[in-house]
Structure 1
């Protein structure tokens, strides 16, 4: 019995070791994402300054890579950014874990006169952080999922400056279904369901008009909205709305049905520099830009 008693604990330690190894290995593999092949339009293929196209998932995107929207140098920068994705994102995940609060502390300019827009309120963690630290005068929070929206209503019922909207924003109006049992963040780019809770999405421009962006600049828009950041950035970068956002913060998501998320992120790096400069960046994970 004594040899067996020695073997069992040793075997247990071996199994635990294997679990830890595979857990670490899976975490290391988490950032892996394979993007479909992008083919730019020929000059004769489009007449619009900013062509809107469909990708394999039949979603739309603004094709900043075609024609002469980007210079030769910028296109080279995009290819370098795209090719370094795997290396950059792994390092960025680790760095962001150690400096997570920078997405709050870097916005110390906010005060009781500020206007803040948050796309993707979820459970109110970011809303609570910004509101308790800076008390912005007008804090607009968008959350399309009814269960999360109701949680936010209860959580911020005494915060008169927090205005909650039970819809999300994207490139166009639409309604989507999600599973009622979902306790995690929800993306409209996940495979479509025909049952469950209905969520509403409205065109980004309609929302900007609703809160009168052209009449009062937005001090900060922060986006953790499971994919809507691409549609919002497309809209900002193809209109004069970009001039009305002093700070733009976002977490880029890579979900299969989103058109070219890595390449589009790299396009944004070049285009945002025309009007804004980086405040902080964990490449492909979280970053913020401030107006020049």
Structure 2
């Protein structure tokens, strides 16, 4: 009996121990399961967040790459334009290297300025005088004309600009001024022709401001004064900006002549109107004289008619008596 009770107690204790162990193990298993679930959720969230970050980074890098490609394309286009510009500059240098082509460039510049400022019928391009000499442009006015010739003394000017020392610079500057003098002489001798209607001066158009400045403004003390020399030859050198001023002066002169012409026409019309008024006044006076004479005759006839009526009334009254 006692042994049976002991066995039962042992079994009961073992059962309790087993139950406690089971509960402990079960609790630990549930904790492990929850930890696994939390870990799984955390890993999943981390994966999602990491994927979003990767996507954003990929998008950013893709946009950056696209911008880089665009910038490379723009850079390539700019490089192409720079190469084209370099070609244009080289072409321009080749043009300016040829005296004939430089002259053509000056004539083209002069034509553009004239076309922008003057009516088409107020100037002629490549005008030929009777001796066969051709001036680049002739600005025409009713009684006179102004010859304009484009000159581009660039050769020694370029050498002067590229000189490395003061001695070379002075020498090349004097040679440049001699070139300008030669152009002034040619214009003075060739295009001032009062017997063909020109004024007693001409304009030399220098189509570059810096060339004009070196020739006319920046004159050293030991060199000839080009302004005085040109005035003595009755030639007025002008730059593109000064040509505008000169042409505006000519335009104002043309406008003044037009106003004078219109004023002469108005005076002529007023004179004709005065003659018409005088003729009308004479006719009016004649008509007035006729009207006055007619009125006098009418008044005289009215008086005779009144007397006749009175006489008839007297006769009628006498018969009644």
User: Which interval holds the TM-score relative to the shorter structure?
Assistant: under 0.3
Larger RCO, structures 1/2 (Cα 8 Å, 6+ apart): 1
Larger helix percent: 2
Structure showing greater Rg: 2
Larger strand percent: 1
